[in-house]
Amino acid sequence: MTRTDTRSGGAAKVLGAVLGAGALLLPAALGPRPGPWTWVAVAGVLAGWCLLVAAAGGTEDSGPVAFVRDRLGPGPARTATALYFGGFATGQAAVALGAAEFALGDSGWRAYAVATLVLGSAAGYAWCVPRGPSPAWRRLRLAAVLALAVSWRALGGPLPGPGGEGWGAFPVAAPLLFGWVGLEGAVPAVARRRALGGTLLGIALAAALYAVLAGPPAAGAQAPTPAAAAALGLGSAALCWTYCRTNLHATAARWTELTGRTRRGGLVAAGLIALGVLALGRAARWDLPVLLIGPGAATAALYALIAVAAVRRPRPQEPTDHDHDHSAEHHRVLEGAARSAR
């Protein structure tokens, strides 16, 4: 494999890991509030974080939870799994509300009612069909998400959320991290310099894409016609539904790792948590940006935990059956924010 191919492959892996429903939800929720320099700053911090983790051996081979366990022990590893479960269980409330706002073209109590239906139907499908989507379907879905996001941008910008302007001191950092879930499991070791260069390139490309999608409309840009807006909205809602379904699958797997109980029990637990967040959001009159704080904060805590693990030496330990159960396959990153958000 050539040098260019290796870097291109690393960049493509990062883009495939972090891009997903976040490409639709973040521009719609945040609008032009985070300027391009905000995305540059976030990308710079994440690049530094990647270099730190890469110097410690990376997470690409073993997975982020195993990385934490090998250096900090089983307790912090369970904390990492719990952050995955809690962050993505609450995150499905945001994904469902985003789907409802895309479908309706507005927000309010109707959006919360439709979001409840989105969440319930996605959970019901995940209950009846235990297998997640195939890799081919995931690639096709990502291409559809990017096509819709670019179409929204080309036609005058994404569907605006009512909180897009005038937030005052609204904490933007946590919602932004919703778009970077997946990177934590795609960091190669520093010895693989070309692959690491591709990872850093992927971070830069993802940040540039988010900055463009969430930027203010171009001068003279016209809003999409009602027919075009309806078509884009329904398509975006449908894709958000599929991400909600996939994330519920993955969240249920984390529940099994945490408790040893069945996947279906995890689906019920995750669905009830997301439903509770929706109910609280409706009672407090929160909109999509506020709902993104929960999963964004969980992502920040997970990245901080991995960074702490990176500065510690691996713990000497004997392999056990429990260790074999937590292979890289079991610790494959959730699709969320950005992927299956994930």
Distance between CA 151 and CA 129 in Å, rounded?
32
Helix and strand numbers, DSSP H then E, in the chain: 14, 0
At residue 178, does pLDDT exceed 50?
yes
Instruction: Give one DSSP letter per residue of 123-147, joined into a string.
Output: HHHHHH--S---HHHHHHHHHHHHH
pLDDT digits (tens, 9 = 90+) for 30-54: 877 777 888 889 999 999 999 999 9
3-class state of residue 155 by DSSP: coil
Give the residue ranges of DSSP H helices in 31-134: 36-55, 64-72, 74-104, 109-128
At residue 162, does pLDDT exceed 60?
no
pLDDT digits (tens, 9 = 90+) for 223-258: 788 898 899 999 999 999 999 999 999 999 999 999
pLDDT digits (tens, 9 = 90+) for 63-119: 999 999 999 999 999 999 999 999 999 999 999 999 999 999 888 899 999 999 999
Per-residue pLDDT at 158: 64
- Quote the tokens at residue 243: 């991400």
Per-residue pLDDT at 164: 42
Average pLDDT score over the chain: 85
**CA distance readout (Å), 126 to 157, 164, 249, 252:** 32, 32, 6, 10
Nearest to 331 by CA among 267, 244, 254: 254
**Rounded to an integer, what is the distance from CA 215 to the centroid of its chain?**
20
pLDDT digits (tens, 9 = 90+) for 95-105: 999 999 999 98
At residue 1, does pLDDT exceed 70?
no
pLDDT digits (tens, 9 = 90+) for 271-329: 999 999 999 999 998 888 889 999 999 999 999 999 999 999 887 765 554 444 443 33
Per-residue pLDDT at 69: 96
Per-residue pLDDT at 172: 67
Per-residue pLDDT at 110: 93
